[in-house]
Structure 1
Amino acid sequence: MHKFENCLVVGISSRALFDLEEENRIFDEAGVDAYTKYQIEHENDILKPGTGFALIKALLKLNEIGSEERKTEIIVMSRNNADSSLRIFNSIRHYQLDITRAALVSGAMLAPYLEAFNTDLFLSANEEDVQEAINAGVAAGIIYTQHLTYNEIKEIDQIRIAFDGDAVLFSDESERIYKSQGIEAFQANETKNARKPLPEGPFARFFKNPVSDSESL
């Protein structure tokens, strides 16, 4: 499978990209069969943008800057199957999003697919999927969902991302010492290892990606 070298690969769940809160309610209350039936019956109804829509659109715009070489690749990651995902792809085409790849895992674990696509960052509205990605060594974050009108989706001119240090860019070893042994042990450990670089954290690979480290981001 293509590894997208020198390209920022971002996986996003369909529920983070589009407003699927009503559909998610049907899934939770009536089960997968009712959810699939609803999606098939409404496959030509265009989904409203979700809370991650503007960010993904901005990331895709990076491909319009400079050379013809792609700088970002967006992959829709979903536990859905192909039958219940037609509506998602119809919506992608409607909004003219340059997304051509997806992992539809039919209820299986997403982590192996994140690794196969060499994903730098995974965004999802599902906390379990995010934790699964982090456990697999992939940088991941939760997109909190809410109902938005299309007019509320503002264009992003510049992407700005703030990183925490401990347990994000760097490992959580110092934080674990603080929590388990207290402030004095933490300070002693920091003094002892002052010249020793901290091991990488889950977001280190994303931060070091040549695209995320460029002026275009």
Structure 2
Amino acid sequence: MPYELDHRLVVGVAPSALFDLRESDAAFKTSIDAYRSFQDENIDKPMPKGAAFPFIERLLGLNDLSPGDPLVEVILLAKDDAVTGLRHLKSLAFYGLKIERAVFTEGSAPSGYIKELNICLYLSGNRSDVARAVSNGLPAGLVLGRTARSEEHSDEAPGALRVAFDFDGVLADLEAQKVYDREKLPGFLAHEVRHASEPHQPGPMAQLVRALGKIQRKEIERHNSDPGYAPRVRIALVTARQAPAHERAIRTLRDWDVQFNDAFFLGGIEKARVLRVLRPHIVFDDQLDHLEGVAEEIAAVLVPYVGDDGKSSQDTSRVSSAIRSRARSIVGRLARRLRRG
């Protein structure tokens, strides 16, 4: 009997999101042969954890809610061949990360398999692979940063998973954003008030948040039968919306049967101020400007959204230069501190 995926939360993750690939990337840029040799020579050396590693680890930890029928499936999607990809699999085994299924597509973007594998989230650190997936209407996100953040937080419950989402262009479609672009804030607010009782159409991360909502309900069932069990999934909405546009967003999420534990309607306040306190294990936003300030501290995912007009809500070509600029800024500040010290 085949292993079914249709009722599970399925994530496809690229090695560039799961591991810090700077060393292997340097070898790859030399030549394919140098890359193969590097992977062979380091076959038993675990790859450093990447930015999305804590999120994936904690997501998989939720499978203890249904041991015989896992709620979550994570599939490695790699552009390696199986030989060079062996080091990825050995690194997963070293860390005890239960990713048992992998797809290797030597040199080709794996986006063609996303729909068939029922993947509701594809994470990659490769800008062109994410752009290709998004252009085909697939739920993909570009992971900013390379290294896993520190997990040393004394007040954090074991296995806790905090996920933060923007609303327009991430959970919902671009309908309201188009109104804002056309009519600015007054027109946008008036439009949302008129349509407050109408749920928004789903955006690229709607299937993911619905699947997380299903796990939340499983946790409530567990808590009802075992009052000592503390639910681990905590979902946050962090949006630039403000009153009175908040009502339609709330009604939409209620219609989707998703419980948001935290909601921030910031109306133009810098999102980084909230995210630094909330410290989600991952945050999804369609605007690079909202993520740049926290990408070194939090696993930040840019969700480029393509609307009906074929245009993306975010030009991913800006990403690499923006990250390099921020990195230079950080290095400069550190150098000045060292000189002063």
TM > 0.5 fold call: yes
- Structure number with larger C-alpha Rg: 2
1:173 to 165, 172, 175: 175
2:199 to 193, 197, 201: 197
Which position in structure 1 is the counterpart of 2:165?
Answer: 163
Q: Runs in 1 of length 4+ with deviation above 4 angstroms?
A: 152-156
Scaled by the length of structure 2, the TM-score of the pair is 0.56
Task: State percent identity of aligned pairs.
Answer: 31
CA distance in 2, matches of 1:61, 1:116: 25
Aligned runs of 1:1-217 on 2, under 5 Å? 2-27=3-28, 29-147=29-147, 152-153=150-151, 157-209=159-211, 210-211=214-215, 214-215=218-219, 217=233
1:112-159 CA-to-partner distances (Å, cap 9, x unmatched) read 11112110112211222223333333333232334469xx45596211
Moved more, 192-201 or 178-187: 178-187
Shift of the alpha carbon at 1:39?
Answer: 1.4
Tell me the secondary structure at the aligned position of residue 25 of structure 1: helix
CA distance in 2, matches of 1:109, 1:2: 24
CA distance in 2, matches of 1:131, 1:3: 28
One-letter identity of the residue aligned with 2:215: V
Shift of the alpha carbon at 1:202?
Answer: 0.6
- Kept in 2, the 8 Å contact 1:50–1:146? The answer is yes
Shift of the alpha carbon at 1:185?
Answer: 3.8
CA distance in 2, matches of 1:48, 1:93: 13
Which position in structure 1 is the counterpart of 2:256?
Answer: none
1:135-192 CA-to-partner distances (Å, cap 9, x unmatched) read 333333232334469xx45596211111111111110111022123433443443344
Change (3 A) 1:39 1:176: same
Which protein has greater RCO, CA pairs closer than 8 Å, 6+ apart?
A: 1
Shift of the alpha carbon at 1:193?
Answer: 3.0
Scaled by the length of structure 1, the TM-score of the pair is 0.85
CA distance in 2, matches of 1:213, 1:52: 25
One-letter identity of the residue aligned with 1:144: L
Shift of the alpha carbon at 1:200?
Answer: 0.8
Moved more, 78-87 or 184-193: 184-193
One-letter identity of the residue aligned with 1:211: I
Change (3 A) 1:40 1:144: same
Shift of the alpha carbon at 1:4?
Answer: 1.1
Change (3 A) 1:124 1:184: same
Superposed CA RMSD: 2.5
CA distance in 2, matches of 1:11, 1:212: 21
CA distance in 2, matches of 1:184, 1:8: 39
Moved more, 111-120 or 175-184: 175-184
Moved more, 127-136 or 83-92: 127-136
